[in-house]
């Protein structure tokens, strides 16, 4: 078993490292991750420090990405803002993966009326524009980082549920599942120990791509003033602070916008690379 697993991992890595785009995406993802983890070390200033003598100063040696309307260092705020983006991405994806996997597993394994009911629920959720649903919920519960993470995760699980359901429909009749039933294994054991480990490939890809989607949604909400609230820095609210001064303080929108673009691109490239490496037959 250990030898087979090691061989599978070696084959995966051999396919993955041939994809230069995926490697570039992985490098971007790791760079942003370590920037977030090492924010206290990398940040040249306190992100909340206000210097009234340095208001709206463009990129200089002292402030490589300039300062904002309160004299705060933009580079420091962007470094600390990466923590918010990754936190929202990881927590929201954890929630959507948990919900989607459970619903997809139950629907695919049992079939019949549970499958019909759960898939109708998926169809109903998909018929409602996710972003507007998030806006409506936040209007009721109020904007803060924890509400944002929970709402993004609780409204974005439908794709994972469909992927997992499809995997369960294909795997529940294979020989090792039939053998497990024959020796009296309970449904819970068959679902979580026999089928689910072999149905996780599309879930991994969905998780990586989901982080990119969650970062975009959080940035959009923060830009609208419904996400992370000041003075806590996030890439979205940094752009918000500069949107009315773009003609005199272009750096307030350009640099955080590039950070969002590069980070989302990195996760998308990594996700596509994982899909090609995990499912080489789907390529081309």
Residue 44 clears pLDDT 60, i.e. is over it: yes
- How many C-beta atoms lie closer than 10 Å to residue 34's C-beta? 12
Is pLDDT at 159 greater than 80 in this prediction? yes
Residues 189 and 277: their CA atoms lie apart, in Å, by: 29
The predicted structure's pLDDT at residue 63: 92
CA atoms within 13 A on the CB side of 68: 28
pLDDT score of 104: 94
Peptide bond into 50 cis (omega under 30): no
Token pair for residue 38? Answer: 């090492």
Query: Does the pLDDT value for residue 45 go beyond 90?
Result: yes
Looking at domain 67-282, its CATH class is: mainly alpha
**H-assigned helices in the chain:** 2-17, 20-37, 39-42, 74-110, 112-127, 130-141, 145-154, 158-171, 175-182, 187-189, 201-223, 235-242, 251-278
Q: What are phi and psi of 36, to 5 degrees?
A: -70, -45
Residues 15-44, mean pLDDT to the nearest whole number: 92
Among 54-68, 142-156, 269-283, the minimum mean pLDDT is found in 269-283
Residue ranges covered by each domain of the chain:
67-282
176-189 average pLDDT score:
87
Question: According to the model, what pLDDT value does residue 148 have?
Answer: 85
Min mean pLDDT across 55-59, 101-105, 142-146, 205-209 is at 142-146
Mean pLDDT calculated for residue range 256-269: 94
Q: What is the pLDDT of residue 180?
A: 86
- Write the CB contacts of 199 (distance below 8 Å, at least 6 apart in sequence): 105, 164, 167, 168, 171
pLDDT score of 279 more than 80? no
Q: What is the pLDDT of residue 197?
A: 87
Q: What is the mean pLDDT of residues 209-231?
A: 86
- Structure tokens given for 165: 């359901």
Mean pLDDT of the chain: 88
- pLDDT of 284 over the 50 cut: no
Q: State the pLDDT at residue 130.
A: 81
Tens of pLDDT, residues 71-121:
999 999 999 999 988 898 999 999 999 999 999 999 999 989 999 999 999
DSSP label of 191: I
Please report the pLDDT score of residue 241 as a whole number: 82
Does the pLDDT at position 7 exceed 80?
Answer: no
């Amino acid at each position: 078993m250990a030898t087979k697993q090691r061989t599978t991992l070696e084959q995966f890595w051999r396919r993955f490292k041939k994809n230069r785009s995926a490697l570039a995406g992985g490098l971007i993802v790791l760079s942003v991750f370590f920037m977030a983890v090492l924010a206290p070390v990398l940040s040249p200033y306190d992100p909340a420090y206000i210097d009234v003598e340095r208001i709206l100063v463009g990129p200089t040696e002292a402030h490589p990405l300039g300062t904002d309307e309160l004299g705060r260092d933009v580079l420091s705020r962007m470094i600390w803002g990466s923590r918010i983006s990754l936190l929202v991405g990881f927590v929201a994806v954890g929630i959507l993966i948990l919900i989607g996997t459970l619903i997809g597993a139950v629907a695919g394994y049992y079939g019949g009326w549970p499958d019909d009911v759960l898939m109708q629920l998926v169809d109903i959720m998909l018929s409602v524009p996710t972003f507007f649903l998030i806006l409506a919920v936040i209007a009721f519960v109020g904007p803060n980082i924890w509400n944002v993470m929970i709402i993004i995760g609780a409204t974005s699980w439908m794709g994972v549920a469909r992927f997992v359901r499809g995997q369960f429909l294909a795997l529940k009749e294979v020989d090792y599942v039939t053998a497990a039933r024959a020796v009296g294994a309970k449904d819970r054991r068959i679902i979580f120990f026999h089928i689910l480990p072999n149905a996780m490939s599309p879930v991994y890809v969905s998780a990586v791509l989901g982080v990119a989607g969650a970062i975009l949604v959080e940035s959009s909400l923060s830009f609208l003033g419904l996400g992370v609230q000041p003075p806590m820095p996030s890439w979205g609210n940094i752009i918000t602070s500069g949107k009315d001064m773009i003609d005199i303080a272009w750096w307030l929108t350009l640099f955080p916008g590039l950070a969002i673009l590069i980070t989302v691109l990195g996760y998308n490239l990594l996700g596509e690379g994982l899909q090609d490496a995990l499912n080489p037959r789907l390529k081309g």
